[in-house]
Structure 1
Amino acid sequence: MSGPTTPPEPGGVPTPPPVPSPAPPFDPELAVVLAALGEGAREPITPDNLGARQERDASARPRPTAEDLRADGRFEVTEFRVPGPPHGPDVTLVGVRPAGLAGPLPLLYYMHGGAMIMGNAWSVLPRILREWALPLGLAVLSVEYRLAPRTEYPGPLEDCHAGLVWAAGHAAELGIDPDRIVIGGKSAGGGLAAALALLARDRGGPAALGQLLLSPMLDDRGRTFSSHQMSGLGMWDLTSHDTAWKALLGDRHGAADLSPYAAPARATDLSRLPPAYIDTGSAEMFRDENVAYANAIWQAGGQAELHVWPGACHGFDGLAPHAVLTRDARAARTRWLRRLLAQPGDGPAV
């Protein structure tokens, strides 16, 4: 089975606007939050300040302990050290499942956000457990992949693939259903999930039931209309975007022959992929690449559910967790997961 190919040129990516273009307005509740944060919270990440920003993020980002995640006995928590990619270190997977549920459970195999340069496998779990694991009876494995620039592509993706292979091969002892594994992630993690779906397809497995792509970071080129239209207006800008991609790709950043496994927007073959859920905001830089990815899946004969949340910026659900728009987005994601996980003969979905 041949892998996907890459176009020699940007291949249909819109040319950025030659002059500043009016931006879609932010949702009113989000606009209040962004205004309160001020310009200081949106300081661009540059190669010169990257190290300091990583240290700041590591110290400031909440990292719950295993005891915190157990939530007074509602969840079982186990950290696994599993074989990593060839010539690479072992990979840490943080496993959490609702206590007392007999298996095999469906699995959400999740990759955290952070632009490939920040974040950790623990900090994303409280939200996932609250929104999906408990209501839907899901087991979760969160991947602690290596970060750039210390580890460049393909290291982070190979970490995620190695963990997925291990999980599928140890499904019985994990109490999970290997036929109901959903791969997912947000922002950089969404890009990794999309790349992992491509890689697993071309390596012959493990097969995923679906891919949950939340504002995925897919395109290293920064040439879409929205990447220029929305740069610096929300929580992300082209300077930070280029810094993150260059940290991951090094000299390969922007190369015409860059692998789609590095930047899934480069893929020209999106056939035979698991059904995708893709959401994005109308007022975020990643809007156009996310919409284009859903369209390319449809053109390849695949399934994709696309939501463009009006007035949403990148990371809106974390910035304004109680906003009406956030509640609507959470509900839509949960409905998609319910439909995906429902099996004939099981009765009503949880």
Structure 2
Amino acid sequence: MSTSRGAAAGVLGAAAVAASVVAPVMALVARRHHTLSAVAPELRTSALRTPALWLPRPIIGKLSLAFARRLSGGTTRPAEGVAVTRHAVPGGQDAFVYESPGRPRPGGALLWIHGGGTILGHPESDHELCSRIARDLGILVVSARYRLAPEHPFPAGFDDCFAALRWLHDAAPALGVDGARVAVGGASAGGGLAASVVQKAHDQGLPVAFQLLLYPMLDDRTALVRDHRGRGRIGWTARSNTYAWSCYLGRGPRVAEPRPYAAAGRREDPRGLPPAWIGVGDLDLFHSENLRYAGRLGAAGVPVDLVVEPGMYHGADFDHAAVPSMRAFRQSMIDALAAAVG
């Protein structure tokens, strides 16, 4: 009898342990299903194809950053027929130049800045995007490399990007570029850096015709917000954002930030900046800061084309490039660039 009771107790104990493990997992799955219900149906996919949808991996320290950097180490293939050359940038790092045969000279140009929260990424990951822009619009595209935080906090990466713009202007005659038709753009952190580069260019009289800001990371004060109303749960999370801004600024985000160009969204006077295209999903953590910046540009008399995509999370256009809604979202960006410098 005692043996039977002991066995029964063991079974009940094992069941209790199993329940204590299964219940939290089931609750997590239920919460994730609720989160994904807001995503546009065509942007939902299996965990095998886009695991970040089901298993978010926030970057919150050195180990998770190292892991994320390994995952982001891939190189995309340039579009067929586009020449890709590598150039040293005085006062900066290096840059890739993309050029299609038969391009009009002198013609327009785009300085592109890759994303990655200022803490990961590299220009090689955007070979496909940059080469397609060069081919489809018949313009020169320059993709800049910049130093990453936390090893190189502000202003290191920003200085590298601005050096690339200055080099593009200085080399414009040799590159066959019309200096009056130069755009600056980027995605995510690259979009934030692009906006800051444009601001400094305006302040120093360096011509920029257009700014192309793909869900840009503009304002470190977003890290001080507690309730994001369900945004930032997929792709780039609030925890990753706080860590990234802390790395880039060399300290945690604060209410005050006196350093010019550290966060483009803090600029007090946006008057005179070049026209802008800003695109963001309504599930993106950067949704509010992007809309706020677009509103301030417009109020200052700067022409702004703001595109807000329903049910889109941060970076979904890279995850689902073939989906019709994402093709249209990207085409809006390309059309705006073509009208400005193409």
Q: Same fold (TM over 0.5)?
A: yes
Residue 176 in 1 paired to residue 188 in 2? no
Residue type of the partner of 1:167?
L
Choose the corresponding residue for 1:63, options 44, 61, 75: 75
CA distance 1:193–1:313, shift in 2 (3 Å): same
User: Greater CA deviation, 105-114 or 256-265?
Assistant: 256-265
Question: 1:228, CA displacement in angstroms?
Answer: 1.9
Question: 1:254, CA displacement in angstroms?
Answer: 1.9
Check conservation: 1:229, 1:285, Cα contact below 8 A. no
CA distance 1:295–1:35, shift in 2 (3 Å): farther
Give the total of aligned pairs.
307
Question: 1:338, CA displacement in angstroms?
Answer: 2.2
Q: 1:200 and 1:285 mapped to 2: Cα distance?
A: 27
**Larger gyration radius, structure 1 or structure 2:** 2
- Which residue in 1 is equivalent to 2:12? none
Q: How does 1:63-142 map to 2 (within 5 A)?
A: 63-64=75-76, 69=78, 71=80, 74-84=81-91, 90-130=92-132, 132-142=133-143
TM-score, normalization by structure 2: 0.83
- Which residue in 2 is equivalent to 1:315? 315
Question: 1:33, CA displacement in angstroms?
Answer: 5.3
Question: 1:323, CA displacement in angstroms?
Answer: 1.2
Q: 1:45 and 1:290 mapped to 2: Cα distance?
A: 22
User: Greater CA deviation, 118-127 or 140-149?
Assistant: 118-127
Residue type of the partner of 2:155?
P
Q: 2:47 and 2:221 mapped to 1: Cα distance?
A: 26
Q: How does 1:261-340 map to 2 (within 5 A)?
A: 261-340=261-340
Question: 1:301, CA displacement in angstroms?
Answer: 1.2
Residue 249 in 1 paired to residue 261 in 2? no
- Which residue in 1 is equivalent to 2:57? 43
Check conservation: 2:232, 2:283, Cα contact below 8 A. no
Q: 1:95 and 1:48 mapped to 2: Cα distance?
A: 32
Post-superposition CA distance 1:131-189 (Å, at most 9, x none): x2112101110000111111100111111111111110111111111111010000000
Check conservation: 2:222, 2:289, Cα contact below 8 A. no
Question: 1:190, CA displacement in angstroms?
Answer: 0.3
Q: Secondary structure at the match of 2:125?
A: coil
Q: 1:35 and 1:287 mapped to 2: Cα distance?
A: 27
CA distance 1:252–1:233, shift in 2 (3 Å): closer
More helix by share: 2
Identity %: 34
Q: 1:291 and 1:259 mapped to 2: Cα distance?
A: 23
CA distance 1:247–1:291, shift in 2 (3 Å): same
Q: Secondary structure at the match of 1:279?
A: strand
CA distance 1:69–1:140, shift in 2 (3 Å): same
- Which residue in 2 is equivalent to 1:16? none
Structure 1 unaligned regions, length at least 5: 1-21, 85-89, 343-350
- Which residue in 2 is equivalent to 1:11? none
Question: 1:321, CA displacement in angstroms?
Answer: 1.0
Question: 1:229, CA displacement in angstroms?
Answer: 2.1
Higher RCO (CA 8 Å, separation ≥ 6 residues): 1
- Which residue in 2 is equivalent to 1:12? none
Moved beyond 4 Å, runs of 4+:
33-36, 38-41, 223-227
Structure 2 unaligned regions, length at least 5: 1-33
Post-superposition CA distance 1:95-118 (Å, at most 9, x none): 110023241121110000011011
Residue type of the partner of 1:81?
A
Check conservation: 2:110, 2:184, Cα contact below 8 A. yes
CA RMSD of aligned residues (A): 2.3
Residue type of the partner of 1:69?
P
Check conservation: 1:112, 1:124, Cα contact below 8 A. yes
Question: 1:77, CA displacement in angstroms?
Answer: 1.9
Question: 1:238, CA displacement in angstroms?
Answer: 1.2
Q: 2:230 and 2:217 mapped to 1: Cα distance?
A: 15
Residue type of the partner of 1:146?
R
User: Greater CA deviation, 258-267 or 140-149?
Assistant: 258-267
Post-superposition CA distance 1:281-322 (Å, at most 9, x none): 011111010000000001111111000001111001011111
Q: Secondary structure at the match of 1:99?
A: coil
Q: 1:227 and 1:198 mapped to 2: Cα distance?
A: 30
Question: 1:35, CA displacement in angstroms?
Answer: 8.9
Residue type of the partner of 1:138?
I
